[in-house]
Chain A
């Protein structure tokens, strides 16, 4: 008996070995290396030895400070008003550069500010571009995840009808999923072109010329939104199919029972369909969230983070530093933060959608 187990032991390791080895070497090890590198000043190639720097990289990315700028006052204590009628403030850089009285502001730059009485409240960040990337990524995820999940559910319900030729429609809706996001991004860059671009012309046509052509990707107000719309277009078929497989696990007898009880379509959805889709919903939200946080190709092909950093996102920043500037530690730090965010959000989603007894 013992020999059989031994044999099984050996055969098991032999057969699973290549897979375990490859996954360890190329997924698990780099994953932990990201954590390790984020605590050093590792570069891709450097003559200097790598040093441990503690949490400096994290401070350099996440450091934020609030500072109240008081207006300049003349000798009588009156607020100084400049020629344009604006309140005059001391220059911010007097505090952020070489000022031993304000060590927490050293090296930081203005992120945004607002007026508070005569004072100006300034939010400073150690890395303003990173902060913008963080905000943009969250905006992207929090818009795309629910919208894409909802549109996908709508499509799944549409396609779940018993009609002749329905599988043709299903195949068509799924089509963009098999097209590379790189191809899609380049194609849509042309569709979004300013002036005579396809989208501008289309909107002009349907509004009988009332629509003013826009530079969709060149305007900071519309660039991120345009990328969101395109990403949803490309990815929604994928999640439609997952919803569809969830819908098909719901037993038809439940619908029969509901209609005998006199439930209308909406009630059927509320009391039969939706409860039956709970697990699918959790899965879809987690999958879309993970995919959305990893957004990169769209930015790289369409905007390069611009205009005015309005489409900077985390992976793009990680690549720009880790690869572009060969700053492996900086890129790794962003990667670790990205992973921590993705994990936390998945856990929160799982907690919020848990089965309540």
Chain B
């Protein structure tokens, strides 16, 4: 075999980078277009789609669209709601699912094998197939508040949080991770008289950073991006999350595209920034859903 000459290798490398860049353009440019469009008046926005200007911050650049969008809809309230709903759910998920995972791995109790298989089997149920009966259930569930017993969960924060705290995937992720922890560590503390709760809190959880990050990121993406469920159960604008808030812009006869792009940018760019700063963790989280059980 003839030796590869260095120029040839350089060329090959250049071609590889060219292909990588071309593909990157496909994934990045629509998002770039969104951000750039949010800075332009609607008339210019349409004209700019004719050329490369669509992806550049040129022409009549201003934050007018943002001002108009914030005037049209209580965007601050929507963002706050989404942050609140997502944050509380993520925290509760971590707590409830790690606790369950702990019990499944370290404790020996009657029924745990059967129950674990049942919980695992729910992974095959898409949420979309249970939302309709869940809607009826939610309309009739009781809730105890300071004013006594009330019936019906519709139009509340709790209906957006409670159903999503525990799920099969989160529990499964914790179980997977806990199985690889050294058992001797737990047994030794047990012999020394530590309670299960103390072992969970002082030994297991402090070691579980990676799986907590994974479960939190997956739940964060799921909750922040929820659309169908809040669409059905929330009417009050004061508790509406960001995705449903989009209706303010799209239900118009003439969609104000400049403002839409501004709103999309407001609700997307923080997530993208968060992702880009932690991209290794994000990507390994998704990859870990692919670990077969």
Contact A339 B126 (CB under 8 A): yes
Residues of A within 8 A of B19 (CB): 158
Contacts of A310 in B (CB 8 A): none
Bound: A281/B257 CA distance, A: 40
Docked-complex contact B20 and A158, CB < 8 angstroms: yes
Closest residue of chain B to A159 (Cβ to Cβ) is B20
A15 at the A/B interface (Cβ < 8 Å)? yes
Confirm or deny: B78 has a beta carbon within 8 angstroms of a beta carbon on chain A.
no
Determine which of A15, A186, A187, A296 lies in contact with B100 in the assembled complex, contact meaning CB atoms within 8 Å: A15
Sort chain B's interface into a size bin: 35 or more
Contact B31 A175 (CB under 8 A): yes
A30: chain B residues at CB < 8 Å are 130, 133-134, 137
Q: Which of A11, A44, A170 has the most CB of B within 10 A?
A: A11
Alpha-carbon distance between A317 and B31 when the two chains are bound, in angstroms: 30
Do the beta carbons of B165 and A318 come within 8 Å of each other?
no
Q: Which of B103-147 contact A (CB under 8 A)?
A: 103-104, 107-110, 112, 115, 118-119, 122, 124-137, 139
Beta-carbon contacts under 8 Å, B253-267 to A: 257, 260-261, 264, 267
Question: How far in angstroms is the closest Cβ of chain B from A88?
Answer: 44
**Contact assessment for A336 and B290 in the assembled complex, using a CB-CB cutoff below 8 Å:** no
How long is the Cα–Cα vector from A201 to B224 in the complex, in angstroms? 33
Within 8 A of A (CB), among B269-293: 271-272, 275-276, 279-280, 282-283, 286-292
Q: Is the interface of A mostly helix, strand, loop or mixed?
A: helix
Q: Given known contacts A5-B108, A175-B275, A190-B257, is B27 in contact with A342 (CB within 8 Å)?
A: no
A-facing residues in B1-56 (Cβ within 8 Å): 13, 16-17, 19-20, 23-24, 26-28, 30-31, 33-34, 37, 46, 49-51, 54
Q: Does A13 contact B (CB under 8 A)?
A: yes
Contact B112 A322 (CB under 8 A): no
Q: How many angstroms from the CA of A79 to the CA of B228 in the assembled complex?
A: 54
Return chain B residues, CB-CB under 8 Å to A174.
279, 282-283, 286
A245-B290 contact given A8-B108, A173-B24, A186-B250, CB 8 Å threshold: yes
In the bound complex, residues from chain B placing their C-beta under 8 Å from that of A331 are 132
Given known contacts A31-B129, A187-B264, A297-B227, A15 and B30 CB-to-CB distance under 8 angstroms: no
| B124:A296 contact, CB within 8 angstroms | no
Kindly identify which residue among A22, A181, A187, A233 contacts B96, using a CB–CB cutoff of 8 Å.
Answer: A22
B279 and A171 contacting across the interface, CB-CB below 8 Å: yes
Contacts of A287 in B (CB 8 A): 289
Q: Which of A11, A12, A201 has the most CB of B within 10 A?
A: A12
Of B31, B166, B197, B271, most buried by chain A (CB within 10 Å of CB) is B166
Contacts of A163 in B (CB 8 A): 13, 16-17, 20
* A9-B109, A19-B99 known; A294+B166 contact, CB < 8 A: no
Q: A332–B54 Cα gap in the complex (Å)?
A: 45
Determine the chain A residues whose CB is within 8 A of the CB of B139 once the complex forms.
44-45
User: Inside 8 A of B224's CB, which chain A residues have their CB?
Assistant: 180
B34 in contact with A201 (CB, 8 Å):
no
- Residue from B20, B168, B260 with most neighbouring chain A CB atoms (10 Å): B20
Task: For A31, list chain B residues within 8 Å (CB).
Answer: 122, 125, 129-130, 133
Q: Is the CB of A27 within 8 A of B122?
A: yes
A-B contact pairs, 20 of them (CB 8 A): A5-B108, A9-B109, A11-B103, A16-B99, A16-B107, A16-B109, A163-B20, A169-B23, A171-B276, A174-B282, A176-B30, A178-B282, A182-B227, A186-B264, A283-B292, A294-B127, A297-B227, A300-B227, A328-B133, A328-B136
Q: Which 10 A-B pairs have the closest CB atoms?
A: A12-B109, A19-B100, A242-B290, A322-B132, A16-B103, A22-B166, A331-B132, A180-B225, A33-B133, A15-B103
Chain A residues in the interface with B (C-beta under 8 A): 5, 8-16, 18-20, 22-23, 26-31, 33-34, 37, 42, 44-45, 155, 158, 161, 163, 166-167, 169-183, 186-188, 190-191, 196-198, 201, 205, 233, 237-238, 241-242, 244-246, 279-280, 283-284, 287, 290, 293-294, 296-297, 300-301, 315, 318-319, 322-323, 328, 331-332, 335-336, 338-339, 342-343, 346
